[in-house]
Amino acid sequence: MSAVTVKDLRKAYGSHEAVGGIDFEIAAGEVFGLLGPNGAGKTTTVEILEGYRERDEGAVAVLGQDPQTADREWRARIGIVLQSSAMYPNLTAAESLALFAGYYERPLDVDQVIELVGLGEKRGARVRTLSGGQKRRLDLGLGLIGDPEVLFLDEPTTGFDPAARRAAWEVIRSLRELGKTILLTTHYLDEAESLADRVAVLRDGKIVALGKPAELTGAAPATEIHYRRDGQDVVVTTHEPTRALHELTAEALAEGRELEGLTVRRPTLEEVYLALTGGEEAE
């Protein structure tokens, strides 16, 4: 059974259509990435799945229930890391986790979660003294403390330095090994590429591409063949790279020429993404 099902989901704020009819499913145990620039509809989609917002149209199920009418038992089975939300500044990291652990029937062990998110040295530090990255790791810990089956991560590493991002990725990978279903939103391509089993690219509230990261780079824009002829750069773009390359090399061989600076390159996910999202800068 799918952990998350979304069918023709629509949500408008006034006349602005934030989500304009999207469909996707997330299998149990899968890490699914929602990728897109700011304002593409990622947070609206996730907050509908978390039960914070009401949809206008479409059908949504998380763990078989409609988030809009779901009960406490359902809440105990999902974990939420919001894009931005503070915590009580005067509690320590460990006290924060213990407070939230008390809300669940079968929470994880506080010490275990502290180790998992890498806050071991900060367990006794007040939340207000933590750095941005440390607070974000506490957010992740608070999302995990109830031992959820489905975890929603809304831009979990935005604002991290590269080292902190790598550390957070490791945490997310270890969660995946624990069998958690994870819905991750991000505007970082490399994050989606290295963490997600499948990625949906959102643009203006619509899914413009959906598949494994490798499939996305394999589809859409064509392969480019670069070489120089008479000092001029020549670029051949093709959807049939084998044939094109064969014809080029056959012709060159027949004429006794060298294809100088010959390179064949497949588009990176970044180029796919930029093409799909209308060239908007990915931050």
Residue 103 as a binder of other proteins (CB under 8 A): the answer is yes
Contact window for other proteins (CB under 8 A) among 22-30, 78-86, 190-198, 255-263: 78-86
Q: Which residues ranging from 142 to 201 are in contact with other proteins (CB under 8 A)?
A: 142, 146
Please report how close the Cβ of residue 88 comes to other proteins at its closest, in angstroms. 6
Residue 76 as a binder of other proteins (CB under 8 A): the answer is yes
Residue 85 or 237: which CB sits closer to other proteins? 85
Contact window for other proteins (CB under 8 A) among 67-75, 161-169, 204-212, 256-264: 67-75
Please report how close the Cβ of residue 104 comes to other proteins at its closest, in angstroms. 6
Pick from 49, 80, 110, 140 the residue near other proteins by CB under 8 A: 80
Please report how close the Cβ of residue 52 comes to other proteins at its closest, in angstroms. 7
Please report how close the Cβ of residue 281 comes to other proteins at its closest, in angstroms. 21
Residue 5 or 92: which CB sits closer to other proteins? 92
Please name every residue paired with 182 in a beta bridge, in sequence order, or none if there are none: 31, 151
Tokens of 165: 């991002």
CA–CA gap between residue 68 and residue 269 (Å, rounded): 35
Contact window for other proteins (CB under 8 A) among 84-92, 171-179, 201-209, 210-218: 84-92
Residue 99 as a binder of other proteins (CB under 8 A): the answer is yes
Please report how close the Cβ of residue 154 comes to other proteins at its closest, in angstroms. 11
Angle, in degrees to the nearest 10, between helices 132-144 and 162-177:
10
CA–CA gap between residue 192 and residue 188 (Å, rounded): 7
Contact window for other proteins (CB under 8 A) among 25-33, 101-109, 209-217, 221-229: 101-109
Residue 106 as a binder of other proteins (CB under 8 A): the answer is no
Residue 104 or 169: which CB sits closer to other proteins? 104
CA–CA gap between residue 257 and residue 77 (Å, rounded): 66
Pick from 23, 25, 56, 95 the residue near other proteins by CB under 8 A: 95
Residue 73 as a binder of other proteins (CB under 8 A): the answer is yes
Tokens of 278: 């209308």
Pick from 88, 121, 159, 265 the residue near other proteins by CB under 8 A: 88
Residue 108 as a binder of other proteins (CB under 8 A): the answer is no
Q: In the sheet that 260-265 helps form, which strands lie side by side, from edge to edge? A: 232-238, 223-229, 260-265
- Residues engaged in binding other proteins (CB under 8 A): 50-52, 72-73, 75-76, 78, 80, 82, 84-88, 90-91, 95, 99-100, 102-105, 142, 146
